[in-house]
């Protein structure tokens, strides 16, 4: 049993590391191409069909890059595709979801102060939410509302806030934030798999067949890429949030999540505007700072807004609180703060498997 627990922990560590590596590759390439696209310059000497060009210097060499808005006149001899970064990130992230939250559902996924459900029910809700979320988003993009990019993004924001609230009514705070990140990342990766890559294959097939590609495929792919651009930073926040109970273990966690999405927009707007050489909108950082201060306030003042501060031990951990081997944990703030259990020799194997934590939570 002890060897199994150790092997499981190393599996979790290895998959987590893989997820971080692939996420860096995906986010890095995504940010680079967004910056490149926004920095393109139109010049008279460009080849027919070329939209713009960019000169860059890196690593001791110069790069001359040209973009064709639809496609070049002939198919290039060598073409590099950017897709596996996205796929590998999603697959490794889903593997982490299975290992940590499905494998340890009673500890990490379910909070019976929030909703008393079985592990199987919680896992099915998790899987269904990811699939239904993508279907809803895709249908929304293909509807008449999808013709206006900013209206569509506004509706998407409302949907994300609704999901944030919904997840916090079903799962533990930690799992709710993780699922919000997984929900958003599923939309982003599905955009690559179901929309962007198939559209690019259609364009390539037209070039090979000697046909003129339809510009609509590039326009659709660009819209989905824009959505991914603005969703990236909130996803990173939610994926890191499990290390910070101050963010997720509060009655106002769904409000915090809503503000995080806005922070992602303001930060990316600064980068996008700067890369497009349209100035440096300093106001975006001021707004971001104000939003972050509001988040800090929401995470530390539940008594002011709810009128209560009595803390309880979650049902899953009552047996630990009653065990003489574990002295009472001091409550260091008014909301959920993890208190590491002291391990004795008889608990060594189970602690290695479960990473035993004692959670103090306020009633919701």
**Per-residue pLDDT at 69:** 85
Helix (H) or strand (E) run with residue 357 in it = strand 357-361
Band the pLDDT of 149: cuts 50, 70, 90: confident
For strand 50-58 and strand 61-68, is the pairing parallel, antiparallel, or unpaired? antiparallel
**Per-residue pLDDT at 325:** 73
Instruction: Give me the sign of the Cα torsion angle 229, 234, 239, 243.
Output: positive
What b/e readout covers 118-128, taking b as 16+ CB neighbours within 10 angstroms? Answer: eeeebbebbee
Average pLDDT, the chain: 87
- Residue range 347-352: average pLDDT? 40
**Per-residue pLDDT at 74:** 85
pLDDT exceeds 50 at position 148: yes
Band the pLDDT of 268: cuts 50, 70, 90: very high
pTM of the shown model: 0.84
| CA count, 13 A, side-chain hemisphere, 69 | 15
pLDDT in tens, 307-332: 655 555 656 566 666 777 766 655 44
Where do runs of H (alpha helix) occur along 210-332?
Answer: 215-240, 245-248, 253-275, 283-300, 302-306, 318-321
**Per-residue pLDDT at 35:** 95
pLDDT in tens, 18-73: 999 999 999 999 999 999 999 999 999 999 889 999 999 999 999 999 999 888 88
196 C-beta neighbours (distance < 10 Å), count = 23
Domain ranges of the chain: 2-38+70-306, 312-361
* φ/ψ of residue 338, rounded to 5: -70, 140
305 contacts 280 by C-beta, under 8 angstroms: no
**Per-residue pLDDT at 142:** 95
- CA–CA separation, 295 vs 256, rounded Å? 6
pLDDT in tens, 209-243: 989 899 999 999 999 999 999 999 999 999 999 99
Where do runs of H (alpha helix) occur along the chain?
Answer: 2-38, 84-96, 119-142, 149-168, 173-190, 197-209, 215-240, 245-248, 253-275, 283-300, 302-306, 318-321, 348-354
CA–CA distances in Å: residue 275 to residues 268, 278, 349: 10, 8, 52
- CA–CA separation, 228 vs 294, rounded Å? 25
- CA–CA separation, 190 vs 305, rounded Å? 39
**Per-residue pLDDT at 311:** 53
Lowest mean per-residue pLDDT among 14-23, 122-131, 268-277, 311-320: 311-320
**Per-residue pLDDT at 36:** 95
**Per-residue pLDDT at 77:** 86
Lowest mean per-residue pLDDT among 96-105, 230-239, 244-253, 276-285: 244-253
pLDDT exceeds 90 at position 13: yes
91 contacts 186 by C-beta, under 8 angstroms: no
187 C-beta neighbours (distance < 10 Å), count = 24
Lowest mean per-residue pLDDT among 84-93, 210-219, 272-281: 210-219
pLDDT in tens, 168-200: 999 999 999 999 999 999 999 999 999 999 999
- CA–CA separation, 58 vs 61, rounded Å? 6
Band the pLDDT of 356: cuts 50, 70, 90: very low
pLDDT in tens, 108-121: 999 999 999 999 99
* φ/ψ of residue 67, rounded to 5: -115, 135
**Per-residue pLDDT at 321:** 66
For 194, the token pair is: 């179901």
Query: Is residue 45 classed as helix, strand or coil in its secondary structure?
Result: coil
Report the percentage of the chain scoring pLDDT > 70.
84
Question: Which residue, among 337, 348, 237, 242, has the nearest Cα to 295 in the 3D structure?
Answer: 237
Strands, sheet with 357-361, edge to edge from the N-terminal-most edge strand: 312-313, 357-361, 337-340
pLDDT exceeds 50 at position 333: no
pLDDT exceeds 90 at position 99: yes
Query: Own/partner pairs for 16-24, CB < 8 Å, 24+ apart?
Result: 16/96, 18/88, 18/92, 19/89, 19/92, 19/93, 19/95, 19/96, 22/85, 22/88, 22/89, 22/92, 23/89, 23/93, 23/236, 23/239
């Amino acid at each position: 049993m002890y060897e199994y627990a150790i092997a499981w922990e190393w599996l979790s560590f290895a998959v987590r590391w893989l997820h971080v590596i692939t996420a860096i590759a995906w986010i890095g390439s995504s940010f680079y191409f967004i910056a490149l696209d926004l920095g393109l310059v139109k010049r008279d000497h460009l080849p027919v069909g070329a939209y713009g060009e960019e000169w860059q210097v890196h690593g001791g060499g110069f790069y001359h890059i040209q973009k064709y808005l639809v496609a070049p006149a002939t198919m290039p001899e060598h073409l590099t595709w950017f897709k596996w970064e996205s796929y590998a990130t999603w697959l490794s992230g889903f593997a982490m979801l299975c290992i940590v939250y499905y494998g340890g559902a009673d500890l990490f996924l379910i909070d019976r102060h929030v909703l008393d459900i079985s592990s199987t029910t919680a896992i099915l809700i998790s899987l269904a939410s990811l699939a239904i979320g993508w279907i809803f988003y895709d249908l929304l993009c293909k509807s008449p509302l999808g013709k206006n990019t900013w209206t569509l993004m506004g509706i998407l924001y409302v949907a994300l806030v609704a999901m944030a609230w919904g997840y916090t009514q079903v799962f533990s705070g930690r799992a709710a934030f993780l699922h919000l990140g997984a929900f958003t990342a599923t939309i982003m990766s599905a955009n690559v798999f179901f929309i962007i890559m198939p559209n690019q294959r259609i364009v390539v097939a037209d070039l090979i067949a000697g046909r003129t590609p339809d510009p609509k495929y590039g326009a659709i792919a660009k819209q989905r890429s824009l959505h991914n651009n603005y969703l990236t930073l909130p996803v990173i926040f939610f994926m890191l949030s499990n290390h910070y109970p101050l963010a997720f273990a509060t009655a106002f966690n769904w409000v915090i999540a809503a503000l995080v999405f806005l922070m992602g927009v303001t930060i990316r707007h600064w980068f996008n505007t700067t890369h497009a050489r349209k100035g440096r909108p300093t106001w975006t950082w001021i707004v971001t700072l104000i939003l972050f201060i509001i988040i800090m306030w929401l995470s530390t003042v539940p008594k002011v807004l709810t009128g209560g501060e009595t803390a309880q031990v979650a049902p899953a951990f009552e047996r630990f609180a009653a065990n003489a081997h574990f002295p009472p944990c001091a409550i260091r703030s008014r909301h959920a703060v993890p208190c590491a259990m002291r391990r004795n020799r008889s608990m060594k194997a189970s602690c290695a498997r479960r990473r035993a934590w004692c959670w103090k939570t306020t009633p919701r």
